[in-house]
Amino acid sequence: MKQIESIKEFGGWLNRYQHESTSCQCTMTFSVYLPPKAATEKVPAVYWLSGLTCTDDNVRTKAGAQRYAAELGLALIMPDTSPRGDDIPDVPDRYDLGKGAGFYVNATQAPWSTHYHMYDYVVSELPALIEANLPVLPGVKSITGHSMGGHGALICALKESGAYRSASAFAPISHPSISPWGEGCFGTYLGDDRQAWHTYDATELVKAGCDLIPLLIDQGTDDEFLAEQLYPQDLQAAYAARGGDLTLRMQDGYDHSYHFIASFIGDHLAYHAKALGGDHQ
């Protein structure tokens, strides 16, 4: 784990690191914001998973999250969205497949299966690395994300029962098995068996009886991808059928961009700070 950048923000530090990933079999880059409180004690962490075409850089420069994290005493962990490198499989003419589009699954199909293990990276390898090397409380973490990263946050929280204190999402791909984005990536990374797809689909996981975690989801009504890609109503219905706690806030006039995220990121970090409270606040 090599630090390659450090910038002071709001009394804390926005750092960038590289390391050799065993999950993805390549050099991975990620950013961490450490609040002022981290100078004297270990702090809880919120993991942010970014969307299609993004790296760790988008959220740290566009969301305005660090100001809130500094006030709330939260570390922000911001991984990349896929493996990177010259020898990593890619589809250069597709923004929604390959590099920048790891979809937070463990690929089973060649040639993707060697490197595209973003699920293991996010839920296991990266937290272990963070907790061993930075002033972050072991196991005290929450997760959120946007679009493809919202999908990632949802499945991590639903599949890893008890691993996260809270979960939320901005405009998540809530039912990827029937979304064109999801179908393209799942078919490529996981093959033709749709039952395999369902193990990485938040709506299908809920239907199948996974443990439920309360969810906060914000969705813009003017999101150009809402009707054909995102399907939040499917996840809402699946939660309701099981009596689960899902708050879906339809935000009037907002689109799919980081302008939307920046408008509500403070709400989400406050939501996670409350869940991460208790004996260490």
Whether residue 226 contacts residue 219, with contact meaning beta carbons closer than 8 Å, is answered with: yes
SS3 category, 85: coil
Other beta carbons within 10 angstroms of residue 245's beta carbon come to 10
Within the chain, residue ranges assigned H as helices are 57-62, 65-72, 118-120, 126-133, 148-159, 180-190, 194-198, 202-207, 232-241, 258-275
Alpha helices in 39-176 (DSSP H): 57-62, 65-72, 118-120, 126-133, 148-159
Whether 101 and 148 have beta carbons less than 8 Å apart is answered as: yes
Active site members: 147, 223, 256
Report how far residue 30's alpha carbon sits from residue 16's, in angstroms, rounded to the nearest whole number: 6
**Cβ neighbours of residue 205 closer than 8 Å, sequence gap 6 or more:** 155, 158, 159, 198, 199
- Which ranges of 74-147 would DSSP assign to H, the alpha helix? 118-120, 126-133
> Is the CB of residue 80 less than 8 Å from the CB of residue 72?
no
| Among the listed residues 77, 72, 24, the one whose alpha carbon sits nearest the alpha carbon of residue 50 | 77
Instruction: Please name the residues in contact with 268: beta carbons below 8 A apart, sequence gap of 6 or more.
Output: 144, 168, 170, 216, 218
